[in-house]
Amino acid sequence: MSRRGRDERTTDVRPGFTTIEYMILTADAGSAARHSEHLAVDLDRLVKRFGAVTAVNGVSLQIRPGEVVALLGPNGAGKTSTIDILLGLSTPTGGQARVYGRPPHEAVALGLVSAVMQTGGLLKDYTIEETVRLTATLFGRGADAADEALERAGIADIRSRFVGKCSGGQQQRLRFAMALVPDPELLILDEPTTGMDVGGRHDFWSAIREDARSGRTVIFATHYLEEADAYADRVVFIRRGEVVADGTAAEVKALASGRTVRATLRGADEAALRGLPGVDSVDVRGDTVVVQARDADAVARHLLTRTDARDLEITARNLEQAFLALTGDDATDNGSNR
Amino acid sequence: MTAATPARTLPPLGGFSPTVVGLELRRMLRNRRTVIFMFVMPAVLLLLFANNAKYRSTSVGGGNITGYVMVSMAVYGAMLATTSGGAMVSVERAAGWSRQLRLTPLRPAAYIAVKLVLAMTTGLVSVIVAFAVGGAIGAQLPLHAWIECGLLAWVCALVFAAFGLFMGYLLPSENVMQILGPVLGVLSFAGGLFVPVDQLGHVFATIARFTPVYGVGEIARYPLVHDGSLWLGVLNVVAWTSVFATGAVWRFRRDTARV
């Protein structure tokens, strides 16, 4: 994914997003600073390299207790690498990760954080109940903790079924039950609904949503935009190991609701364009001007009547396109997702 | 939620507990192939080899040949059981279970301790099964030899628990015992469990003394025969235990390192 020599900031090659993104990030940092108690997650310039490949490239992220956050990005964007560090499964090459003020492996051992991983992690010759009981025992908790987790994950009725005989959705609920055993403050879900059918996905999210009412902090990585949109208070876009946008679901929608006006114009007056109503950002590159605006018509009218602009085009942007623009180099980058 | 959350503490003994051993034991015994391999096969071999009048009437040390074969089969069974116990880690690694366990407070050393207790428990059962079958078909040993041979066969099988762990970490296969089964068969043959090594010719007998099963067999049979080089057997067991334990620790460290 990551290329060599990508250390130069890439802000200027992403027209139309820099301004908004900057605003959101600033607003966020401000509210995080107000928090006096421990942050649920505090990533400080996190870097993870595997040989020549940089999987995580300086991610700083603060997540407050109680937030439900979606990590959105294509395969290889660095989501899983970031999660592995949060869970103490791997150590960062640079920077620091803290979970409730502690090193991740400590937070894991104390049951402050637990996770529902994508695949694997189950033994097929255990029953559902045995798997959860074993987990409870390892956390120094009794059978009542196991029973409660089974109930909350909605698999108490199939407790004596062998794991090998469970459907993908049931196995995922089992992973969820195991994650609930220590009653964690932070629950991490790494693409939890991969491979589930629509019904299974809906049921799974209903269980998660029900659980999140208790005030648990939830971070989930996903490819599915609708999941991020429906279940997250906050969406963090990750691309090539970097956070490229971070905001509430509403802010992300606002980001997506604008239109892009592009035209060929020699010697564009950037300040004048910026002064137009509803303009979010202006980017002039040589003879091309790209304006991101909520009122695209006004911009087009201005360009065509007051300037020598030609080859004008207006493109609408839906969430999908915003996602592609933010997280992918091009369409093929995202097309590689299963 | 924070108000209702109980104080967060780490479990005692790094997560090692009888409940965990019990659950793991139950799971292990659920695998029919493993049970046949560990308990039934040595007993069947014992019936095939030693259930005849000639062996019953020929004396060795203070007992008979049936008793001699019985001790060898007890060693064989204990070896299969302890190797299986150690090799369980390969299946667990293949299934991603080891990774899942890293999301719990279970200490890696406690995990290994669970596997060792499991291996030694099934090893003990295997020895008892072999001795029960042997007793039923007329094996004779002096009373002290019943106890000493049994204990030695069991304790020395620890070398194969280390072997199983090493192989379990080395081979990421789902069916590691299908590879190890034949390997153990060859080693048992070389170690004189099926045929006394002296009957295999001088060259082979010399080589056989350096294979890992030989020492355990020699030591376990010593209380009966009071023959053979005990110190060589002890040296053999100590050397191979160090080799396998070092290998297991090396692979284990690599496996559990946070990269």
The CATH number of whichever domain residue A269 belongs to comes to 3.30.70
Same domain? For A96 and A191 the reply is: yes
Residues of A near B (CB-CB distance < 8 A)?
A: 87-91, 105, 108-112, 114-115, 117, 119-126, 130, 133-135, 137-140, 178, 182-183, 185, 214-216
How many angstroms away from the CA of A234 is the closest CA of chain B?
21
Residues A246 and A285 in one domain: no
- Shared domain for A270 and A190, answered yes or no, is no
| Cα atoms in the Cβ-side hemisphere of radius 13 Å centred on A264 | 2
* CB-facing half-sphere around the CA of A277: CA atoms within 13 A: 4
Task: Answer whether residue A134 is part of any domain.
Answer: no
Smallest Cβ–Cβ distance between B20 and the set A90, A124, A138 belongs to A138
Count of C-beta atoms within a 10 Å radius of residue B143 = 8
Contact (CB, 8 A) for B92 and A121:
no
Q: Which domain holds residue A98?
A: 15-112+184-254
Work out the average pLDDT over A263-274. Answer: 88
Domain boundary pick from A229, A254, A279: A254
Task: Please tell me whether residues A325 and A221 are part of one structural domain.
Answer: no
Pick the residue from chain A with its C-alpha nearest to B29: A125
Cα separation, A58 vs A199, in Å, equals: 38
Number of domains present in the structure of chain B: 1
| Structural domains in chain A (count) | 2
Residues A326 and A238 in one domain: no
Cα separation of A214 and A201, whole Å? 21
User: Would B183 be classed as within a structural domain?
Assistant: yes
- Same-domain pairing of A107 and A50: yes
What's the pLDDT band for A19 if we cut at 50, 70, 90? very low
Please check whether residues A189 and A326 belong to one and the same domain: no
Q: Evaluate whether residue A161 is within a structural domain.
A: no
For residue A114, the one-letter residue type is S
Q: Identify whether the C-beta of residue A292 lies closer than 8 Å to the C-beta of residue A16.
A: yes
Is the residue at A129 inside a domain?
A: no
CATH of the domain at A59: 3.40.50.300
Query: Is B112 inside any structural domain?
Result: yes
A162/A171 Cα distance (integer angstroms):
10
Residue A292 pLDDT level (bands cut at 50, 70, 90): confident
Per the domain annotation, does A126 fall within a domain?
Answer: no
Helix (H, G, I), strand (E, B) or coil at B257: coil
Dihedral, CA of residue B170, residue B175, residue B176 and residue B179, to nearest 10: -130
Residue B9 lies in a domain: no
Mean pLDDT of B217-242: 90
Tally Cβ neighbours within 10 Å of residue A243. 23
Q: Tens digits of per-residue pLDDT, B51-87?
A: 899 999 998 888 999 999 999 999 999 999 999 988 8
CA–CA distance, A294 with A259 (Å, rounded to integer): 6
Do B126 and B38 contact (CB within 8 A), yes or no? yes
Q: Give a yes or no: residue B8 inside a domain.
A: no
| pLDDT of A231 | 86
Query: B31: which DSSP letter?
Result: -
How far is B97 from chain A, CA to nearest CA, in Å? Answer: 4
Banded pLDDT at A30 (limits 50, 70, 90)? very low
Q: Is A157 domain-assigned? A: no
A144-173, pLDDT tens digit by residue?
999 999 999 989 999 999 999 998 889 999
Whether residues B96 and A122 touch (CB distance < 8 A) is answered with yes
Using DSSP's 3-state secondary structure scheme, residue B73 falls into helix
When CB atoms are compared, the residue of B96, B102, B105 closest to A139 is B105
The rounded distance, in Å, linking the Cα atoms of B242 and B197 is 24
Same domain, A190 and A325: no
Angle at A68 between CA A66 and CA A69, to 5 degrees: 130
The band of A248, judged by pLDDT with boundaries at 50, 70 and 90, is confident
Clarify whether residues A246 and A263 are in a common domain: no
Structural domain includes residue A143: no
Together in a domain, A92 and A192 = yes
Residue of B8, B13, B97, B115 for testing the chain A interface, max A β-carbons within 10 Å: B8
* B61 within a domain of the structure (yes/no): yes
Nearest 10 degrees: Cα torsion A113, A115, A121, A126: 80
- For residue A139, the chain B residues in CB contact (below 8 A) are 11, 104-105
Q: B24 pLDDT band (50/70/90 cuts)?
A: very high
Last residue of one domain, picked from the residues A254, A271, A304: A254
Of residues A197 and A310, more confidence is placed in A310
- Residue B159 near residue B213, CB atoms below 8 Å: no
Residue A158 lies in a domain: no
Q: Quote the CA–CA distance of A255 and A275 in Å, as a whole number.
A: 19
> B16, B32, B93, B104: best mutation site toward chain A, by most A Cβ within 10 Å?
B104
Residues A264 and A299 in one domain: yes
Residue A178 lies in a domain: no
The ipTM, to two decimals, is: 0.88
pLDDT score of A32:
35
> Looking at chain B, which residue has its C-alpha nearest residue A117?
B100
Nearest CB neighbour to A90, from listed B31, B91, B258: B258
Dihedral over Cα of A23, A27, A29, A30: its sign:
positive
Q: Tell me how many degrees the CA angle A44-A49-A51 measures, rounded to the nearest 5.
A: 165
Contact list in B for residue A109 (CB cut-off 8 A) is 10, 104-105
Closest chain B CA to residue A183:
B5
Please indicate whether, in this complex, the C-beta atoms of B1 and A120 are within 8 angstroms of each other.
no
Computed over every residue of chain A, the mean pLDDT equals 81
pLDDT at A293: 84
Residue B181 included in any domain = yes
The fraction of chain B above a pLDDT of 90, given in percent, is: 59
The token pair at A157 is 């009725």
The confidence score (pLDDT) of residue A226 equals 77
Clarify whether residues A23 and A97 are in a common domain. yes
C-alpha distances in Å from residue A246, one per residue of A86, A238, A257: 18, 9, 16
Task: Answer yes or no: is B131 within a domain.
Answer: yes
CB of B188 within 8 A of CB of B76?
yes
Expressed as residue numbers, the domain containing B182 is: 15-256
Q: Hey, are the CB atoms on A120 and B99 less than 8 Å from each other?
A: yes
